[in-house]
Structure 1
Amino acid sequence: MVSQFGSLGYTIMGKTADLTVVQKTIINTLHKEGKPQTFIAKEAGCSQSAVSKHVNRKLSGRKKCGRKRCTTNRENRSLMRIVKQNPFKNLSELHKEWTEAGVKASRATTHRCGRKEFGYSCRIPLVKPLLNHRQRQSRLTWAKEKKNWTVAQWSKVLFSDESKFCISFGNQGPRVWRKGGEAHSPSCLKSSVKFPQSVMIWGAMSSAGVGPLCFLKTKVTAPVYQEILEHFMLPSADQLFKDADFIFQQDLAPAHTAKSTKSWLNDHGVGVLDWPANSPDLNPIENVRGIVKRKMRNKRPKNADELKATVKETWASIPPQQCHKLITSMPRRIEAVIKAKGAPTKY
């Protein structure tokens, strides 16, 4: 029963009036099967009181009070079809298309119908890399090949990546408490610059922790990348793996896949993990970068030197336990890619 209803993903909390059609169906079905209300509430994604009120109201035969709906179930389903055809339409566009179909409803009714009847909410979309069919198939094939890898095997991988850190972190950071009319007060403003100072880094991590950072001053060409491997990748491997064997992970950037780079890695006896294109969700070092940026939210460096020092200090503060926890997520990442058939995952 958990697999039947738990995958629906409805988590709207509220009273009986706020229950969606799907939630009511789940409650009715499980109630007929004699399931306890706590179990029903968990499966339907609502409070136990909402389940109780819905069941008691239905058993008592009491009709719902309040103003009569101005739209029919058929008209509501037509709105759902409009949303599914293009979920990126704003409320005005949805309302216009719905009314053009002959439905007499206000903008508020359009919003309320989509939210309460079908559980739709207008959210900021997540940004994921664009994957073509060939790249999705490559990710899927790669994931199936690594499906049986254990955490111990992933712990032998040295993950690497280049990252950019700016003085300005966009809309991230602390909010401000202010009164009406203080929006333009200097004490309530958050400063921004058109071209913020930034630093580019190369870093590596494994289940044992993070390695030393390399701050990049020029564009990463094949010769520059080989210098990074010589002076930072090999020391990172010595620090994190001691004398044990390891596998090096890198993405498919041109400098990484150049013939001279492949020759350098081969000459130094470094085994390289095959890696699918456009797959940051498979690399746990991306999560390390996110952790560093979150820790830096309340630290506001004023120039590039302070930014560099802050990044270096924050990077070094990441404990090995946190890195190990990220490595243990690799089997789940692989499973998520297979389930998504190569499409982007939540990681």
Structure 2
Amino acid sequence: MDTDSMYFSIAGSQTEGYKQGLKYVIKDQLFYDLHNKERLPWDNCTVAKEKRLMNLTTESQGENIICLAPKCYSLYNGNEQNEDIVSLVNRMKGVSEKKTNLTNDDYIKCLNDGGVALSLAKKKRIIELSEKKKLSFTKISQKQGIPYETVRQVLLHRNNLLEPKKRGPKPKVAVRAFRRISRYLKKTSKSIPQNINKSAKKRLRRRPKLTERHIAKRIQFAEEFLLNDQSKKTEIIFSDEKKFRFDGPDGWAYYWYSLDEKDDNSIYSKDYGKYKGVMVLATINSAGILSHDRMQGSITAVVQRELLLSQVFPSIHTELGEQFKYQMDSASCHKNKETLKDLESYGFSFLDWPALSPDLNPVENMWSILVRKVYEDGVNYENEEDLWAGIQGAGRKITKKDILLLNNSFQKRFTELLKRGGKYVQ
């Protein structure tokens, strides 16, 4: 019952004061009708309201109610066990009922799940702990830090695992209508209005535009490499850095994938500008992933040098000795002259890699494989330690065969680049 704006006229003694309680209850309907307006005068009041005893009425009524908090409730008829539910009223303080499309199932799910939304990956983990490790509900709850009731509900509905439905308001423009508008605008050469653009699917960042100088350098590098057949003379180590975020790939996609791979829906990070995540430096060659190491703090030439000498160089020495060439892109932290001289004194020999050439680097394709495994089943991470553990686990799943296919495509990329006149390789 909502009583914050309700008035009661139940006491009838003027001498006893407010402490009279229920001693002098008004029972005379005629007396009540005569003195009704004295306690609360109304303007433009209807006859029906004046004749209503005690001025009380029922706004809505039903068989069941779920009240999660003040001003937050769901009223419904039926039994959720039989899935025969008729939703009557859904209220939430400060939330538009029409825009959010709240249903009775949302309130029931909130109670059953203990208020915790789980990704598909976490649900699979709970099922795995129950079926393979034979842990009890209580043990799983303690181990995963998830409410007991949430664990029970996941295991109860293990045969109907689905990705959680997206919340929020419905799109202003339906998908079919948006396609029709887009086709019309293309034909008429008109720009898409801003409000229409917002309902479109987010696109990946475009590749940098190649100037004539970039194209000439790319062609020169490809021709020299193929003529000298450098890949047969010495082993090449490919390297690259990438930042992994807590809730998915960052969307700044400079990596390519094989055309025969199954195309899947990308999951984009939503924490832009907060700089949360883990930066990783990876090196690969024909032997597989040589190293993938975490980079701490700001990425400077000093940080790069320390990581190469302490982590990357030992891994390369173990596999190849000192007969190799190391590939780096044209980032400022890679091109510091003092750092390069220092690294060369330790046995590093570098490829003269052309600028704006991520399409020639097989590590970019490796990131594509690693990202799919790190964020498999829509998993999110709570902190940097969990994310780094997920990256390490995903890296161990990538086989030597996967990397060998990428590494062997290196010369084919150069051939394709020359065919395309120095432009990006698809």
Work out the CA distance in 2 between the residues paired with 1:174 and 1:132. 32
For residue 302 of structure 1, what is the amino acid of its counterpart?
Answer: E
Once the 2 structures are TM-superposed, how far is the Cα of residue 95 of structure 1 from its aligned partner? Answer: 3.0
Match of 1:209 in 2: 288
Once the 2 structures are TM-superposed, how far is the Cα of residue 171 of structure 1 from its aligned partner? Answer: 9.7
SS in 2 for 1:260: helix
Tell me if structure 1 keeps the 8 A contact 2:289–2:400.
yes
Match of 2:370 in 1: 292
Change in Cα spacing, 1:144 to 1:300, as seen in structure 2 (3 Å) is same
- Per-residue CA shift, 1:42-76, capped at 9, x if unaligned? xxxxxxxxxxxxxxxxxxxxxxxxxxxxxxxxxxx
Alignment size in residue pairs: 219
SS in 1 for 2:188: helix
Match of 1:83 in 2: none
Match of 1:10 in 2: none
Once the 2 structures are TM-superposed, how far is the Cα of residue 151 of structure 1 from its aligned partner? Answer: 8.7
Once the 2 structures are TM-superposed, how far is the Cα of residue 160 of structure 1 from its aligned partner? Answer: 0.9
- Per-residue CA shift, 1:95-114, capped at 9, x if unaligned? 3359xxxxxxxxxxxxxxxx
Q: Paired residue for 1:257, among 316, 335, 343?
A: 335
Query: Bigger shift: 298-307 or 225-234?
Result: 298-307
SS in 2 for 1:211: strand
Work out the CA distance in 1 between the residues paired with 2:372 and 2:297. 26
Matches within 5 A, 1:164-175: 164-169=243-248
Output the aligned Cα RMSD.
Answer: 3.1
For residue 270 of structure 1, what is the amino acid of its counterpart?
Answer: F
Once the 2 structures are TM-superposed, how far is the Cα of residue 262 of structure 1 from its aligned partner? Answer: 1.7
Once the 2 structures are TM-superposed, how far is the Cα of residue 158 of structure 1 from its aligned partner? Answer: 0.9
Unaligned segments of structure 2, at least 5 residues: 1-180, 191-202, 252-262
Unaligned segments of structure 1, at least 5 residues: 1-88, 99-123, 176-189
**Structure showing the higher strand proportion among its residues:** 2
Larger relative contact order (C-alpha < 8 A, sep ≥ 6)? 1
Query: Bigger shift: 131-140 or 165-174?
Result: 165-174
SS in 2 for 1:214: strand
Tell me if structure 2 keeps the 8 A contact 1:157–1:246.
yes
Change in Cα spacing, 1:322 to 1:163, as seen in structure 2 (3 Å) is same
Give the share of equivalent positions with the same residue, in percent. 27
Once the 2 structures are TM-superposed, how far is the Cα of residue 267 of structure 1 from its aligned partner? Answer: 1.0
SS in 1 for 2:222: helix
For residue 318 of structure 1, what is the amino acid of its counterpart?
Answer: I
Work out the CA distance in 2 between the residues paired with 1:154 and 1:327. 15
Q: Paired residue for 2:312, among 233, 244, 247?
A: 233
Once the 2 structures are TM-superposed, how far is the Cα of residue 192 of structure 1 from its aligned partner? Answer: 5.0
Match of 1:338 in 2: 418
SS in 1 for 2:333: helix
**Structure showing the higher helix proportion among its residues:** 1
- TM-score, length of structure 1 as denominator length: 0.56
* 1:218 pairs with 2:267: no
Once the 2 structures are TM-superposed, how far is the Cα of residue 274 of structure 1 from its aligned partner? Answer: 1.0
- Per-residue CA shift, 1:224-277, capped at 9, x if unaligned? 111011112211212331x35111111111121111112112211221111000
- TM-score, length of structure 2 as denominator length: 0.47
Once the 2 structures are TM-superposed, how far is the Cα of residue 295 of structure 1 from its aligned partner? Answer: 1.3
Tell me if structure 2 keeps the 8 A contact 1:151–1:327.
no
SS in 1 for 2:299: coil
Larger radius of gyration: 2
Change in Cα spacing, 1:310 to 1:137, as seen in structure 2 (3 Å) is same
